[in-house]
């Protein structure tokens, strides 16, 4: 067994033991451990949230006075104190439904969006960036001033361009790769802190 497969197995086993719905739960936990993005009482929106590992991690930390909302094209099994919406981030009506559910501004937007992978790498990577751009457009509508966002990005030719674009809206943009993310996978996580309306950034 390769080391990377062993690590994948280790997180799968841990997720099962700790009743997390996905290995991905550890990616968010590890990012949070280093960067402290989740806090009690926060209002958090998770885009591409199924099966719900990130929602489990988030709701545990934001607690009963916080709000956790997840959207996905796939149904998400209920999680206590979590609101879920079946919807597509590319669909205007679904976005409006999400905005109405949030009812105000969010403190943090999370996006772990992945398209259905076709196996054609360039196509999948372009689609993933395209979806993440939709998540950013949505973020601009609902994130409060100085809020944070975390985006999964499949690395490719256009990654630098996308990250530079993110820098137009956030004062602090950090690239991170948690241990639970396989070394050979092209995914990275871009943590964006201190949201500013574009015209405020010099
Ligand atoms: C890697 S999974 C997310 C795992 C999740 N973070 C967890 O911890 O359980 C990526 C998700 O993105 C969702 N997705 C893909 N395209 C979408 C879209 N257009 N709108 C909403 N969700 C989408 C997929 O259905 C899939 O569930």
Contact 141, 195 (CB under 8 A): no
Provide the 8-state DSSP code for 3. Answer: H
What is the spatial distance between Cα 24 and Cα 52, in angstroms, rounded to a whole number? 9
Catalytic choice (152, 177, 198, 202): 152
29 CB less than 6 Å from ligand 1? no
Which of 72, 127, 189 has most ligand 1 atoms within 8 Å of its beta carbon, as the pocket-test mutant? 72
Q: Hey, what are 174's tokens?
A: 């950090």
pLDDT digits (tens, 9 = 90+) for 178-190: 999 988 889 999 9
**Ranges of each domain in the chain:** 3-200
pLDDT of residue 7: 65
Q: Are 173 and 166 in contact (CB under 8 A)?
A: yes
Tell me which of 3.40.50.300, 3.90.1570.10, 3.40.50.1010, 3.40.50.150 is the CATH number of domain 3-200: 3.40.50.150
Residue 167 falls in the annotated catalytic set: no
Confidence of residue 101 (pLDDT cuts 50, 70, 90): very high
Mean pLDDT, residues 42-67: 98
Q: How far is CA 195 from the centre of its chain?
A: 16
Cβ 90 under 6 angstroms from ligand 1? yes
72 lines ligand 1 (CB under 6 A): yes
At residue 87, φ and ψ (nearest 5 deg) are: -170, 165
Q: 131 CB under 6 A from ligand 1? A: yes
- pTM (two decimals): 0.94
Tens of pLDDT, residue by residue over 141-151, are: 999 999 999 99
- Write down the pLDDT at residue 9: 80
Please tell me if the CB atom of residue 25 comes closer than 6 angstroms to any atom of ligand 1. Answer: yes
Give 51 Cα–ligand 1 centroid separation in angstroms: 8
Query: Are 147 and 107 a contacting pair, CB within 8 Å?
Result: yes
CA-based nearest residue to 90, from 103, 108, 71: 71
């Amino acid at each position: 067994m390769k080391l990377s497969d062993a690590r994948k197995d280790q997180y799968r086993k841990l997720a099962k033991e700790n009743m997390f719905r996905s290995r991905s739960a550890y990616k968010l936990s590890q990012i949070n451990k280093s960067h402290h993005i989740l806090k009690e009482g926060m209002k958090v929106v998770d885009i591409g949230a199924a099966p719900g590992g990130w929602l489990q991690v988030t709701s545990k930390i934001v607690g009963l006075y916080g709000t956790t909302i997840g959207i996905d094209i796939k149904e998400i099994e209920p999680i206590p104190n979590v609101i879920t919406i079946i919807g597509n981030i590319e669909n205007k009506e679904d976005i409006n439904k999400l905005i109405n559910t949030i009812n105000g501004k969010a403190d943090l937007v999370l996006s772990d969006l992945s398209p259905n992978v076709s196996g054609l790498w360039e196509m999948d990577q372009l689609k993933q960036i395209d979806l993440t751009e939709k998540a950013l457009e949505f973020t601009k509508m609902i994130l409060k001033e100085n809020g944070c966002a975390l985006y999964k990005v499949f690395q490719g030719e256009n990654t630098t361009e996308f990250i530079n674009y993110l820098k137009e809206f956030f004062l602090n943009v950090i690239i991170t790769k948690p241990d639970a993310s396989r070394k050979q996978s092209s995914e990275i996580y871009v943590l964006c802190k201190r949201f500013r309306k574009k015209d405020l950034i010099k």
